[in-house]
Amino acid sequence: MIDVGIDGAVATVTLDRPAKLNALTPEMVTGLRDALTGLDANPEVRALILTGAGPKAFCVGSDIGELDRYDTAWEFRERPEYCDLVRAVRKPVIAAVNGYAFGGGLELALSCDIRLAAAHATFAAPEIKLGWIGGGGVSSLLTHAVGASNAALMLYTGDPVDADRALGWGLVSATHPADALLPAARELAAAIAARPPIAARTAKLNIRAAHAMPLENAIAYERDLQTICFATEDAAEGRAAFAARRAPRFTGR
């Protein structure tokens, strides 16, 4: 139920359970963990795309029917958290949101670095309608993405937001017709994969630091990572290619 395809330096991970709107079971979470861990360790892969199978849904989060498998609240708390798995990937990850991104599916999208959406996609945090709240980072990640007022609107009502509003709020970077979404995601991923991978990874670390650290600490951290990047073979290659007016050949060293 987790499909992986690799084209050059770009891997596409597809949640493949369209009859259930790509709702995640514990077995799928295990498969997602294995897929992401393997791709993150694969030096040939430099960028990832996460998407859902079928025309209706990216992901609607956990399969609610599976939640009764947990005998206690603590067992539920200790289950593998699929959003953590996505955030643990060191390489750039693009969400290609091809339909409903509800509940944990919204959190999955927020856990990716860049979000592109199909024009018919919708986003919601509907847990409040069922008596609970999200626990995969939605409160923090959504607030950072769309601002406190818009996050409160989504979290307090549980009502969906369409792709146009999501674009206006900054929840997604671009919208595309449904049939153009994956090609656009692959084009973007290929462009990112062509960049020096160490620089791409450190850029990701710096973005995380911008959320987690005070300003002066984040700037100092950025400067340290810049120094590390400057010392790489890829940085030397970039300077040499610029001087020679040729395309650089980055190797991740």
What pLDDT does residue 72 have?
73
Based on the domain organization, do 145 and 67 belong to the same domain?
yes
C-alpha 64/C-alpha 11 separation (Å) is: 29
Q: Residue 125 pLDDT > 90, yes or no?
A: yes
Report the C-alpha gap between 145 and 154 in whole angstroms. Answer: 12
Residues 80, 183: one domain? Answer: yes
Q: What is the pLDDT of residues 39-87, one digit of tens each?
A: 999 999 999 999 999 999 999 988 776 666 766 767 666 566 899 999 9
Scanning the structure block, which residue is given the tokens 């295990």? Answer: 30
Q: List, in order, residues 6 or more apart from 123 with CB less than 8 Å away.
A: 97, 101, 102, 106, 109, 154, 160, 161, 163, 166, 171
Evaluate whether residue 41 is within a structural domain: yes
Residue 50 within a domain: yes
For the chain, give the percent of residues with pLDDT over 70.
94
Residue 158, pLDDT above cutoff 80: yes
Average pLDDT, the chain: 93
Quick one: 121 and 223 in the same domain?
no
What does the pLDDT read at residue 77?
66
My answer on whether 129 and 157 are in the same domain is yes
Average pLDDT on 96-124 reads: 98
Both 173 and 85 in a single domain? yes
- The reply to whether 6 and 110 lie within a common domain is yes
Q: Is residue 101 part of a domain?
A: yes
Are residues 132 and 31 located together in one domain of the fold? yes
Rounded Cα–Cα distance for residues 134 and 156 (Å): 11
Q: In the listed set 175, 193, 211, which residue is the last one of a domain according to the structure? A: 193
> Does the structure show a pLDDT above 80 at 95?
yes
Q: What is the pLDDT of residues 1-20, one digit of tens each?
A: 999 999 999 999 999 999 99
Domain span including residue 206: 197-244
Looking at the chain, the whole-number percentage of residues with pLDDT higher than 90 is 78
pLDDT at 81: 85
**96 token code pair:** 């290609």
For the chain, the domain total comes to: 2
- Any domain includes 71: yes
User: What number is the average pLDDT over the span 111-120?
Assistant: 98
* In a shared domain, residues 52 and 123: yes
Q: Are residues 185 and 240 in the same domain?
A: no
Q: What is the pLDDT of residue 68?
A: 63
CB 29 within 8 A of CB 85: yes
10-15, strands of its sheet edge to edge: 2-7, 10-15, 47-52, 93-97, 114-118, 174-176
Of residues 236 and 32, more confidence is placed in: 32
Question: Burial of 156 by CB count in 10 Å (0-12 exposed, 13-18 middle, 19+ buried)?
Answer: exposed
The predicted pLDDT at position 138 comes to 95
Domain co-membership, 177 together with 206: no
The answer on 163 and 69 residing in a single domain is: yes
Domain-located, residue 134: yes
Say which CATH number the domain at 231 has: 1.10.12
107/229 same-domain check: no
On whether residue 252 sits in a domain, the answer given is no
pLDDT band at residue 241 under the 50/70/90 scheme: confident
Report the CATH number that the domain containing residue 126 is assigned in CATH: 3.90.226.10
Positions annotated as catalytic residues are 107, 127
